[in-house]
Structure 1
Amino acid sequence: MQGSANLNLMIKAARKAGRSLVKDFREVENLQVSAKGPGDFVTKADREAERIIRDELMGGRPTYGWLGEETGETAGQDPTRRWIVDPLDGTTNFLHGLPHWAVSIALEHKGEIVSAVVYDPAKDEMFWAEKGAGAWMNESRIRVSGRRHMIEAIFATGVPFGGRGTLPATLQDLARLMPVCAGVRRWGSAALDLAYVAAGRYDGYWERGIQAWDMAAGLLLVREAGGFVGAVRTGDDPMEKGAVLAGNGALYEPFAKVIRGE
């Protein structure tokens, strides 16, 4: 993989964390789990993976800022650069022994994501991108799908669980979308949903109520793979509002109109 020094550092950190996670995944029934909220768990594996990533990234770039799911935000000496990290996106899948979860690492520069890594250790698929250099999966260039008709397209989302307030809106989205598409998938990892849009496996993805670390890397992957990303509400910033919509070039607008009820 040919990339910048920062990207190579990110890939190294993701692989190292991935090895630790795979080891724990094989013994998932023995993990010590503490409840962080309804349907939202934090595991020893999750915390250890973030520690590994933080040690690698901050060891290599000690002046950068940090935003991690488990350890929160730390300002850096360099106010223009920040790591945005989800050490285990798809925690519930992980806890249930489902091999669909990922490590997500993004580098933000002056408010813009410039480097991205989403690593799926269970399948050994490393999705990566840098601004202006395209998107890749392992050694292969990836592109968004070329489908042009909604009725042929498959979309992904995250259906809210427990008492989350975004459930009614999501159910309304599904009621509008299901009759005009080929199917909707809910696989439980926002980072991989976006990576799959970038790779042309999904034609689009939307979700409300997610965090910056869930989507930061995936947004750049989709853009560099030739797709479009935006917020569920026109004019919003998806990173700020936590509501994202992504798709290929031909379907983004009609897909967005369905989700927005236009």
Structure 2
Amino acid sequence: MDLPDQFDKPFEKQLASELDLALRVADAADAFTLPRFIDRDFTVDWKTNATEVTEIDRQAETLIVNALVGERPDHAAFGEEHGAAGDQSSPWRWVIDPIDGTSGFVRGIPVWASLIALTHENEAVLGVVSAPALGFRWWGGVGLGAYVQSHTGTTRSIAVSAVTALDEAQVSITHNSGWDRLGKTDRLVALQQQARRSRGMGDFWQHMLVAEGAMDVAVDAVGVAAYDLAAIKPIVEAAGGTFTDRLGEATYEHDTAVSSNGHLHDTVIALLK
């Protein structure tokens, strides 16, 4: 990841402190969410956008935001369930998705995670993705590198793959009706057909597999939001990858997302266009 001019050594030192906080908060979130997932002790409601939500989502967000703002009262926070908190004038903003993959969570599928991102002047500079039911946690940020930790406590640095040809690539595609509305479903099919292998990992996991080098490209659903992506982008970039929307703009604030090892990114974006 190229460091903007404002990201100097003191900035990186501060980010290391913020990462320590985010990891401690992720520990607390995991301790709350995982037992409830295992026990299936929750009820399910529906939002106006026809997606599921549980009291576990809401309570986990409260836990995460209160812990972050409690230790960083001069920071802002924004969560999927409860919106804004903290000092909204701050250049620092925590962006939270308490349970990314709620539809899986409610069905007993272990592909869900708590996403904790830190942005500075709207640039995503730090991300933690903690998936306790899978037994893995990923993190990374500007000047910090990218890492994965297993439930055994083993931690290793991660990097994207070196695959340069689409016909040698493994891709993860998340098709939904949004791609149909864009008239781009045939482009997704073409991408799958041209790749060596296609899978549909979904949500955060596909992007973390790109960061690890296990997948080479991940194309998300249409309709994602900033809280779905803010923690993903800095991890993929810290691992040496590229993260943009479907048109190639490097942002977490649009409703589409494509991550790759970088070598294949232009090819994939051109195909999706």
User: TM-score, length-normalised on structure 1?
Assistant: 0.90
Tell me how far apart the structure 1 counterparts of residues 197 and 85 of structure 2 sit (CA, whole Å): 41
Q: Secondary structure at the match of 2:187?
A: helix
Tell me how far apart the structure 1 counterparts of residues 210 and 168 of structure 2 sit (CA, whole Å): 15
Kept in 1: contact 2:243–2:250 (CA 8 A): no
Tell me how far apart the structure 2 counterparts of residues 22 and 142 of structure 1 sit (CA, whole Å): 25
Deviation sequence 1:62-92 (CA, Å, 0-9, x none): 1211110001124615520100000100101
- Any stretches of 5+ residues in structure 1 without a counterpart? none
| C-alpha deviation, 1:153, in angstroms | 1.3
Task: Please say if 1:182 is aligned against 2:182.
Answer: no
Deviation larger for 171-180 or 197-206: 171-180
Q: Which residue of 2 aligns with 1:62?
A: 73
Q: Which residue of 1 aligns with 2:265?
A: 252
Q: Which residue of 2 aligns with 1:172?
A: 186
Question: Which of 81, 96, 113 pairs up with 1:102?
Answer: 113
Tell me how far apart the structure 2 counterparts of residues 83 and 40 of structure 1 sit (CA, whole Å): 23
Q: Which residue of 1 aligns with 2:20?
A: 8
Kept in 1: contact 2:172–2:202 (CA 8 A): no
Tell me how far apart the structure 1 counterparts of residues 169 and 21 of structure 2 sit (CA, whole Å): 36
Q: Which residue of 2 aligns with 1:221?
A: 235
Deviation sequence 1:206-236 (CA, Å, 0-9, x none): 22220001011111111110111222124x4
Q: How many residues align?
A: 253
Q: Which residue of 2 aligns with 1:211?
A: 225
Tell me how far apart the structure 2 counterparts of residues 248 and 137 of structure 1 sit (CA, whole Å): 17
Tell me how far apart the structure 2 counterparts of residues 85 and 245 of structure 1 sit (CA, whole Å): 20
Tell me how far apart the structure 1 counterparts of residues 199 and 178 of structure 2 sit (CA, whole Å): 21
Kept in 1: contact 2:247–2:269 (CA 8 A): no
Tell me how far apart the structure 2 counterparts of residues 33 and 204 of structure 1 sit (CA, whole Å): 33
Q: Which residue of 1 aligns with 2:4?
A: none
Kept in 2: contact 1:33–1:41 (CA 8 A): yes
Stretches of 4+ aligned residues off by more than 6 angstroms: none
Task: Please say if 1:81 is aligned against 2:100.
Answer: no
Q: Which residue of 2 aligns with 1:201?
A: 214
| C-alpha deviation, 1:184, in angstroms | 2.6
- CA RMSD in angstroms, aligned pairs only: 1.9
Q: Which residue of 1 aligns with 2:9?
A: none
Q: Which residue of 1 aligns with 2:8?
A: none
Tell me how far apart the structure 2 counterparts of residues 106 and 90 of structure 1 sit (CA, whole Å): 16
| C-alpha deviation, 1:124, in angstroms | 2.5
Kept in 2: contact 1:106–1:113 (CA 8 A): yes
Q: Secondary structure at the match of 1:9?
A: helix
Indicate how the Cα distance of structure 1 residues 85 and 32 shifts in structure 2: closer, same or farther if over 3 A, else same: same
Q: Which residue of 2 aligns with 1:133?
A: 144
Q: Secondary structure at the match of 2:244?
A: strand
- Any stretches of 5+ residues in structure 2 without a counterpart? 1-12, 150-154
Identity of aligned residues (%): 30
Q: Which residue of 2 aligns with 1:41?
A: 52
Kept in 1: contact 2:163–2:216 (CA 8 A): yes
Tell me how far apart the structure 1 counterparts of residues 159 and 241 of structure 2 sit (CA, whole Å): 8
Question: Which of 115, 126, 134 pairs up with 1:123?
Answer: 134
Indicate how the Cα distance of structure 1 residues 179 and 158 shifts in structure 2: closer, same or farther if over 3 A, else same: closer
Tell me how far apart the structure 2 counterparts of residues 9 and 75 of structure 1 sit (CA, whole Å): 16
Indicate how the Cα distance of structure 1 residues 114 and 155 shifts in structure 2: closer, same or farther if over 3 A, else same: same
Indicate how the Cα distance of structure 1 residues 95 and 251 shifts in structure 2: closer, same or farther if over 3 A, else same: same
Tell me how far apart the structure 2 counterparts of residues 172 and 204 of structure 1 sit (CA, whole Å): 17
Question: Which of 157, 163, 167 pairs up with 1:147?
Answer: 163
